[in-house]
Amino acid sequence: MTATAVRRAPSVSTPTLTSRGIGFVVELVTYLVVTMAVAILEYFVAGPLSDFGPSNWLIGLVVMAAWHGWHWAGSQTPVGSYLDHYITDLDGNPAPFEQIAVRQFAKYGVLYGLPILLLDTNLVLFGCLVGATGMALFWAPSHRGPWDYLAGTVISDTVSAERNIGLAPLTKPSDLQLSGRRVAENNRARRLLFLAGLSSVIVSVLIVYNIFTEAWAFVAADEFSWGLLTERGWFPRRNEFDLATLFVGTLWVTGIAIAVAGPVGLGVAIYLSEYAKPNVQRIVKPLIETLASIPSVVLGFFAISFISPSVLGPIYSAAGGAIGIFSILAAGLGVGILTIPIVASIAEDAMRSVPRELREASYGLGARKVTTALRVVFPAALSGISAAFIVGISRAIGETMVVFLAAGGSGGAIFEANPSEPGQTVTAAMASLGAGTDSVAGSGIAFQSLYFLGALLFLMTLVLNLFSDIIVRRFRQVY
């Protein structure tokens, strides 16, 4: 009777091969992560023990088996519990623990045990094993593996109503309650997501703590005096920490960047939202957003190889002046190009969210498209557009590589209010100070000044974010 049951075709609904493949990939990646964790542990333990014992792969396999065994009571594997894959018998009833154990250990032996033995001895046999297993799963009915035929099981996306209260007919109020297994799964998912959110908070707190403790060490050092912050320029290795040099450079770069990105980005947003046809929108918007993915170091070299000699050079020559390869102006234009897609994308999303009824009402009163865009849609989307500009300003303040390459003040800078001259910003000064051996050369508090600048930069962006939140709340309109 048992042999006949094993050979007959299953009468259950099985997941797609794609879903099975996703589950296998996730399981394999998990196995690799567990094995790497074992290897890291071995690195710290193997020293005093001299011999860790079995290989990392086999230890990782044992850990995976123990983890999987914890889920077998629910007729699932850890990955299957998230994909709603069940291990059932051929009638769709949840397989018992012993039957699942036979299936899983056979699967471990074929997919993990044999490859571990063959990987270092015969790569050809290893490749043949992987290929044969994949072909067997692809062509077998219900995509059953050899281990499924051995244990008499099948992977199903449903379970029989006779064994699953969740699918049984509702006869009493308690039937509406989730089963204990589902409640446990929900609690595990909730705890996992909570830990993920908590980890981001903990990392942020640690970053802020590290920055401000080192910044305080800079201020509290015996070599520090407040007069050092008003020297003739920013030369930290000479004990000269003039903040005005950096803040003026930062304001120039940010102002020039927004002067470029603001009108251009807003114009692109108005065109895409009000004028462009759907086919044009599907092509142009991804292209604009692709600009944001260009590495900033590329734009830095673009600024010194094209903007300075080919754009700014002829303009200054025609005006009877001259400008060098490195300047705050060239850096500001490069940062502005980098900021355009941010302003354009956020502003376009804000304008597109304005209800179409407002546009139709304006057209009904005889307004032209440009009037509707500027007098109706623009005010209605003002909160989102303001947020776009503030995010653009934050992006310009925080940009490093473009300014580091194009501004020309990487080795320090004298106070300069002329944007056509080399200069330095807060972020470029941090990059310059932290690069190479500069972090340990010169003044004893030179390295701590990096954290002091980081704390100032953090406070600047925090104020901008708070101001952005106030602006959005002030002008937000709910439809």
| Span 197-222, pLDDT tens digits | 888 888 888 888 888 888 888 888 88
Secondary-structure breakdown of the chain: helix, strand, coil percentages, each rounded to the nearest 5 = 70, 5, 25
Average the pLDDT over 36-62 and give the result: 64
Cα(264)–Cα(256) distance, integer angstroms: 13
According to the model, what pLDDT value does residue 175 have?
57
Q: Which two tokens stand for residue 81?
A: 């519990």
Long-range contacts from 283-292, C-beta under 8 angstroms, 24+ separation: 285/345, 285/348, 288/340, 288/341, 288/344, 288/345, 289/341, 289/345, 290/341, 291/337, 291/338, 291/340, 291/341, 292/338, 292/341, 292/342, 292/345
Burial class (CB in 10 A: 0-12, 13-18, 19+), 226: exposed
Q: What is the pLDDT of residues 404-442, one digit of tens each?
A: 888 877 667 788 788 888 888 888 888 877 764 344 445
Beta strands in 53-96 (DSSP E): 86-88
With a cut of 60, say whether residue 4 has pLDDT above it.
Answer: no
DSSP-based three-state secondary structure for 160: coil
Say how far residue 211 (Cα) sits from the centre of its chain: 23
Average pLDDT along the chain = 79
Compare 16 and 251 and report the one with higher pLDDT: 251
Residues 6+ apart with CB under 8 A from 327: 308, 312, 406, 407, 408, 419, 420, 421, 422, 423
CB 163 within 8 A of CB 157: no
- Whole-prediction pTM value? 0.61
Output the pLDDT for position 429.
Answer: 84
Choose among 214, 103, 83: nearest CA to 152. Answer: 103
User: DSSP code of 236?
Assistant: G
Over the stretch 80-112, which tens digit does the pLDDT of each residue have? 777 778 888 777 777 887 888 888 888 877 777
Percent of the chain with pLDDT over 70: 82
Calculate the CA dihedral of residues 48, 52, 56, 58 and round it to 10 degrees.
-160
Which of 346, 327, 330 shows the shortest CA–CA distance to 262? 346
Whether 1 has a pLDDT exceeding 50, the answer reads: no
**What pLDDT does 257 receive?**
93
Least confident of 320-329, 435-444, 467-476: 435-444
3-state secondary structure of 36: helix
* Angle in degrees, CA 154, 160, 165, rounded to 5: 135
Length of the chain, please?
Answer: 479
For 154, residues 6+ apart whose C-beta sits below 8 A from its C-beta are: 10, 12, 14, 87, 88, 89, 90, 142, 144, 148
